[in-house]
Amino acid sequence: MCPHSPARPGEAESAIDVAQTAYASPARARGAWAARGAVALYPAALMLVLGLWGIRRQGSMWRDEAVTYDMAHRTLAELWPALQTVDAVHGLYYVLMRGWFLVFDGGVVALRLPSVVAMAAAAAGVALLGKQLAGRRAGLFAGVVFVLLPMVQQYAQEGRSYALVCALVVWSTYLLARVTARPGRRLWAGYGALSLAACLMHEFAVLVLPAHGAAVVLSGLPRAVRRAWCVVAGAVVVALVPLALFSMGQSEQLSWLQWPNPVQLGTFTALVLGGLLCARAPVGRAGRQRLRLRPVALPLLVLPTALLVLLSQLKPMYVDRYVLYYVAGFALLAGAALDWVLRPAGHRGQTRRRLLYRSVALAVVPALLVPVNLFLRSPQSRTDDAIAVTRAVQELSSPGDGLLFLPARRRVWAAAEPHEFHRLRDLALDRSPVASHTLYGTELSGDRIHAHMMQMRRIVAVGDAKGQPTDKTDQEIAKRTTLSAAFEVCATRDLTGARVTLYARPGYC
């Protein structure tokens, strides 16, 4: 329910003063735009540099990126029926990537470049939002902190939708700050459009709306502004409902999720504690009708993840990248704290010596992050590497050998370089991923898979790393039992998150 309260005295006059100040003259307006541009430019440029550094990740591509690569290379006639059965939640992203690959089909660089650009836009948005809420220096610091966060750099170099969602959420939050300072239909429409675009790009972006609602309430905004926010947010939710209901029928895609990852929860907890510590620093107060920093940043930092964890008690669905945008809340608080800690000498008790010591101490932080940044740009930083799997298959196989994926969903590894698998016979495949409108294709019955295997002298088995749980389906049991009973191991390649093994009949290794 949207809260209402009587209008406060002087609010109308305050709004007129703000408008008159902002538009006193064209020259002053140009100066304001130049100031905004300067604040946004430096974090965006830094993000572009760091995002392009090691973007190839030594030519690797992990399984989720392989899905993007496959789906974005399907025609719209092939993509549409696939989205009826799987991955509708990423449908808009796949369509956009399809268009991008038609323009530039440059392998892993083309796959990740949109994410780099999107995260640069997000960095610019964080800086502008910080400037709007706490001043120019705080905004600049916030943008730089955002760029240096390892999670930001990780997903800036990932061919998935999360960087785009983060950018859309950040800019919708910026427009919310703008429209509450100077209400207008165009700004409200822009806020609603960006919020809806973020939700259509990934449904869990809707969890930012409670954070925005908390910001509107806690900032003590006028009744008319709160009512307008309720209308726009309600329209976004209503527009999202059809996609949300449809994608619920595909919820089995999340069956691999268990209890929230303790490492991811630990990262979230550390950022929350750090954000609370930063929130103790003094922050310049905005005008009466504007959002304030802490009511914006703290809910943005806490609520989306907290709500997703609570929803995961009903059905596991928590992965930190689904609400990646929460790190913007930490960046805003850290930027304001840095503005206070590094305030100029002579300002509110600051001395030159203290400023020097603090500057040197803070300069150590990026240096400490260098090993993390190097690791993030290595293949080992991801769950697996589809390209490495392909190379191992090439090394161990000969034309005409049999091929098995254990389990069937590991067939996604072939999507990175599908032509490299054409010389082998996929013994379990019934219909290909494209023909079956699925991600992994459909497989034959266990009996038919067994019969096909017994016709072969050599089989290359591509599966999970040692120690992973095995599927109990008829097909997977047939694969494992036939390999164990009728074949012997000739060679094995252990890779990050995968194992490729060459089996042969006795005497044919």
pLDDT recorded at residue 6? 44
pLDDT recorded at residue 362? 87
**Cβ density class 59-92: b for 16+ within 10 Å, e for less:** ebbbbbbbbbbbbbbbeeeebeebbeebbbbbbb
Instruction: Name residue 503's beta-bridge partners.
Output: 459, 489
Nearest to 404 by CA among 362, 443, 356: 443
**Cβ density class 141-155: b for 16+ within 10 Å, e for less:** bbbbbbbbbebbbbb
Choose the most confident range, by mean pLDDT, from 9-23, 260-274, 377-391. 377-391
Cα–Cα distance measured from residue 329 to residue 44, given in angstroms and rounded to the nearest whole number: 17
Give the pLDDT band of residue 23 (cuts 50, 70, 90). Answer: very low
| Interacting residues of 193 by C-beta distance below 8 A, sequence separation 6+ | none
Q: Write out pLDDT tens, residues 316-358.
A: 888 999 999 999 999 999 999 999 998 877 777 677 777 788 8
pLDDT recorded at residue 31? 61
> How does strand 488-495 pair with strand 458-464?
unpaired
| Interacting residues of 136 by C-beta distance below 8 A, sequence separation 6+ | 35, 39
Q: Assess contact for 337 and 363: CB atoms under 8 A.
A: no
Q: Write out pLDDT tens, residues 452-468.
A: 999 999 999 999 999 89
pLDDT recorded at residue 14? 39
Q: Assess contact for 328 and 126: CB atoms under 8 A.
A: yes
Is residue 504 classed as helix, strand or coil in its secondary structure? Answer: strand
pLDDT recorded at residue 250? 77
Q: How far is CA 291 from CA 114, 198, 368, in A?
A: 31, 21, 34
Dihedrals phi, psi of 3, to nearest 5 degrees: -75, 150
pLDDT recorded at residue 287? 53
Is residue 135 classed as helix, strand or coil in its secondary structure? Answer: coil
Instruction: Please say if the pLDDT value at position 252 is more than 80.
Output: no
Q: Assess contact for 381 and 154: CB atoms under 8 A.
A: yes
Is residue 470 classed as helix, strand or coil in its secondary structure? Answer: coil
Q: Write out pLDDT tens, residues 197-246.
A: 999 999 999 999 999 999 999 998 999 999 999 999 999 999 999 999 99
- The residue type at 330: F
Over range 356-381, report the average pLDDT: 91
Q: What is the DSSP string of 237-276?
A: HHHHHHHHHHHHTTGGGGTT--SPPHHHHHHHHHHHHHHH
| Interacting residues of 341 by C-beta distance below 8 A, sequence separation 6+ | 281, 358, 362
Q: In the chain, what percentage of residues exceed pLDDT 70?
A: 90
Q: Assess contact for 463 and 498: CB atoms under 8 A.
A: yes
pLDDT recorded at residue 382? 95
Dihedrals phi, psi of 157, to nearest 5 degrees: -115, 40
pLDDT recorded at residue 136? 93
**Token output for 227:** 């009512």
pTM of the predicted structure, to 2 decimals = 0.90
Is residue 95 classed as helix, strand or coil in its secondary structure? Answer: helix
Q: Write out pLDDT tens, residues 469-509.
A: 899 999 999 999 999 999 999 999 999 999 999 999 999 98
Instruction: Please say if the pLDDT value at position 8 is more than 70.
Output: no
CA 296 to chain centroid, in Å, comes to 21
Instruction: Please say if the pLDDT value at position 3 is more than 80.
Output: no
Q: What is the DSSP string of 149-167?
A: -HHHHHHHTSSSSHHHHHH
Instruction: Name residue 493's beta-bridge partners.
Output: 500
What is the C-alpha end-to-end distance of the chain, expressed in Å? 70
**Cβ density class 393-412: b for 16+ within 10 Å, e for less:** beebbeeebbbbbbbbbbbb
